[in-house]
Chain A
Amino acid sequence: MRGYAPILLLFLVALALPVIIWNLSRLLRPYAPSAAKASTYECGITPATEARDQFSVRYYLVAVMFLVFDVETVFLFPWAVQMKELALFGLIEIGIFLFLLLFGYGYIWSKGALTWE
C-alpha cells in the first residue's frame, strides 16, 4: 500500500485547491448581484426556451447507425494491418463480416428509418 501514498497526496491537493481558491476569491471580490448576472449566458443572447428539449427519435436512429458503422471501421483496422498474414482467408472473413452488416442496413432501409420527413 505504500506505493499509493503519492496518489493520496494528489487527491488531497486536488481537494484543497478549489476550496482555497474559492474562499479566497469570495473574500476579495466586490458583492453586487443583479438579475442579468444570474441568467444562463450573462453576456450573450437572451435565452428563448428551456435548454431541455425533445429531439425527434430519428436523431437517435441515425446516431445508433453511425455507431454501428463506426465500430465496423474499428474492426476493419486490425484486419488491414494484418492483411498479408491473414491472406485470402482474412479477406473472405472480413467480406462475410461486411456482408452481415449489409443485412442490418437493408433491414433499416426497408423499415423506412432512413426517410426523413
Chain B
Amino acid sequence: MSFAQGLLEALTKDLPLLYGPALLAVAATLMLWPGDRFVGRGNKKAWAFVAALVLLAAGALALTAPTDEGFNRMFRVDGLTKGFQALCVMGGLITIALSQPQLNALKEQTVEYYALILFSVCGMMLLVGATDLVSMYFSLELMALCIYVLVAYLRHQERSVEAGLKYFLLGAFSSGILLYGISLLFAAAGGVTTNLAELNGRLALVSANGSLLVYAGVLMVLVGFAFKVAAVPFHMWSPDAYEGAPTPITAFMSMAPKAAALGAFLRVFGTGFQGIASDWMLPLAYIAGASMVLGNVAALRQQSLKRLLAYSSIAHVGYMLLGVMSGDAQAGAQAIWLYMLTYLLMQSGAFAILIYLQGKGEGERIDDFRGLGRRQPVLAFAMMVFLLSLAGIPPLVGFFSKFILFKLAIEQGHVALTVLALLTSAVAAYYYLNVVAVMYFKEAPETERAPMGSLATLVVTVSCALILVGTFFGFRLMDWMGRIVLG
C-alpha cells in the first residue's frame, strides 16, 4: 500500500467523527459566498433560519457520530465530547433566536453575523473533542477569533468596538501565554509529543531536574484556560466585553464558549494532566476560590444587569472549577455538564427577558425592571424563576446542580473550598433577590408595552418550563441524564 493510499484510507475512516463541525464550516462558507450574492438587502434575516437549520443538522450529526479516536489521536468522540457539543449547539440556537428582535430593531441583519456564530460553534465542537494540545489550541482560536468580531459587531457604537478591542488584546495575550506553556510542556516531555495521554505519562516521569519546566508549563496552560473561562484573577476582560457586546452575543459568550472551554478544561486537567495533579491542584483551588469570592462580591454593586450577570458568571465558573479539581474525572464531568445545562437554561431565559426590555439596545439597568410584576406578571414570574434558580434556591433546578457539584467536591476532600462556595452562594442570593424585589416592590414608570417577539417568547417558555419540570423530578432526572449523555 502506498503512502498516499494510507492517507486516503485514514481520512475516510476518521472523517465521520467530524461530520458535525465540518458541516458547520462548509455551510457557513457557502452562506458567505456565493450564498449572500443572491439575497436582497431586506431579506437578510432569512439567514437566521438557514443558520438555525444548519446548527440543528450539525448537532444531530455530532450526536450520532461513532465513538472513536482519529486524526493521529488528535480528536476523540466520547460521551464528554457529545455532551458538551450538544450544549454548544444549544447555546448557538438560543443565540440565533434571541438575536432576531434586536438585530431587526437596529437594522443590522447581515449574513456575517450568523456565519461567525456557525464558525465559532464549529471551533467549540472541535475544542471539546481535542485530545492533543495542538488541535486544542487551534480550535480554541477558531472559537475565540469569531467571538472577538461578534463582540465588536455594532461597529457604530463606541462601547461595542471598545469591548471588542479589549477582549481581542487580552485574548491574544492569553493565547500567547497558553502557547508558551504548551511549548514548555512539549520540551519537558522530551519534545516528541503533544498528545494529552502520552504527555501525561511522560510528564509524570520527568526527573526532579526538569520539574521546574513542567511546573511553569502547566501553570501557563492553566493561566491560558483561566483567561478563556474568565476566572479570577484573569477575569478583567469579561465585565467590559459582556457590557459592550450586543446583548445576544453576551448571552452567547456566557453559554456556549464557556461550556466548550470548560469541556476542554476537563479534558486537559481533569483527565490529561492527572499524573502531575500536585503541580496544578493548589493554584487551581486558589483560582476557584478567588472567582467565587470576587465574582459574587463585585456583582453586589452592579447597576447594570448585564454586568451583574457577567460577574455572577465568574462566580459560577468558580463553582464549576470544583468539578475540574475532582479526582474522579467521570463524576466531575457529569457534575459540570449538569451545572452547565441548567446554567444555560437560566441564562438564556434571563437574557431573553433582558433583551426584550432593552428594545433597541439601551436600558439594561436593574432599575428598568421596576414594577415588572405589575406590568407583566407572567414575564416577571419567569424572570423570578430564572433568578431564584441561578441563586440556587431549592426546590428549583439550579439548587440540584449546585448540590451535586458541592457533594462531589466534599467527597473528593475539598471541604474548605466547598464551605467557601456555600457562603458565597448566600451572598449571591442577595443580588439575585434584589432584582426580584425591584420587579415586585418598586413603583412602575409609565411606559407603553411593546409586544415580545415569538422566538424570544419561545425561549423564555421552554427554559422556564424545563426548569420547573426539572424541579419536580429533581435528582433522579439529573442523575439519569448525566449518565445517559456522558455514559
Task: List residues of A whose CB falls within 8 A of some B CB.
Answer: 85-90, 100, 103-104, 106-107, 110
Contacts and interface: CB of A to CB of B under 8 A. Distances in A.
B419 to A, nearest CB: 43
Given A86-B3, A87-B2, A110 B8 contact: no
B179 to A, nearest CB: 18
Interface string B92-109: 000000000000000000
Contacts of A90: 4, 7
A100 B32 CA distance: 12
B5 A110 contact: no
Contacts of A106: 33-34
Contacts of A100: 29
Contacts of A89: 4-5, 7-8
Interface string B240-274: 00000000000000000000000000000000000
Given A85-B2, A87-B2, A110 B33 contact: yes
Contacts of A110: 33-34, 36-37
A86 B4 contact: yes
Interface of B: 2-5, 7-8, 29-30, 32-34, 36-37
B23 to A, nearest CB: 15
B17 to A, nearest CB: 18
A85 B33 contact: no
Contacts of B32: 103, 107
Nearest to B2: A87
Contacts of A107: 32-33
A88 B33 contact: no
Give the residue among A87, A100, A107, A110 with the most B Cβ atoms within 10 A: A107
A47 B399 CA distance: 69
Nearest to B32: A107
Q: By DSSP majority rule, is chain B's interface helix, strand, loop, or mixed?
A: helix
A86 B7 contact: yes
A87 B2 CA distance: 9
A106 B30 CA distance: 11
B29 A85 contact: no
Q: Which interface residue of B2, B4, B37 has the most chain A CB atoms within 10 A?
A: B4
7 contacts: A85-B3, A86-B3, A86-B4, A89-B4, A89-B8, A103-B33, A107-B32
Given A89-B4, A104-B33, 13 more contacts: A85-B3, A87-B4, A88-B4, A89-B5, A89-B7, A89-B8, A90-B7, A100-B29, A106-B33, A107-B32, A110-B33, A110-B34, A110-B37
Contacts of B8: 89
A16 B425 CA distance: 57
A89 B1 CA distance: 13
B477 to A, nearest CB: 44
Contacts of B3: 85-86
A46 B112 CA distance: 47
A93 B379 CA distance: 54
Given A110-B34, A110-B36, A110-B37, A103 B29 contact: yes
Nearest to B115: A107
A100 B25 CA distance: 11
Contacts of A85: 2-4
Contacts of B33: 103-104, 106-107, 110
Nearest to A90: B4
B211 to A, nearest CB: 14
Contacts of B4: 85-90
A104 B28 CA distance: 11
A86 B2 CA distance: 9
Contacts of A104: 29, 33
Nearest to B6: A89
B24 to A, nearest CB: 14
Contacts of B2: 85, 87
A1 B315 CA distance: 43
Contacts of A88: 4
A88 B8 CA distance: 10
Nearest to A106: B33
A27 B32 CA distance: 67
B2 to A, nearest CB: 7
A28 B393 CA distance: 79
A82 B333 CA distance: 43
Nearest to A89: B4
Contacts of B34: 106, 110
Nearest to B31: A107
Question: Closest 7 CB pairs between A and B?
Answer: A107-B33, A89-B4, A87-B4, A106-B33, A89-B8, A85-B3, A107-B32
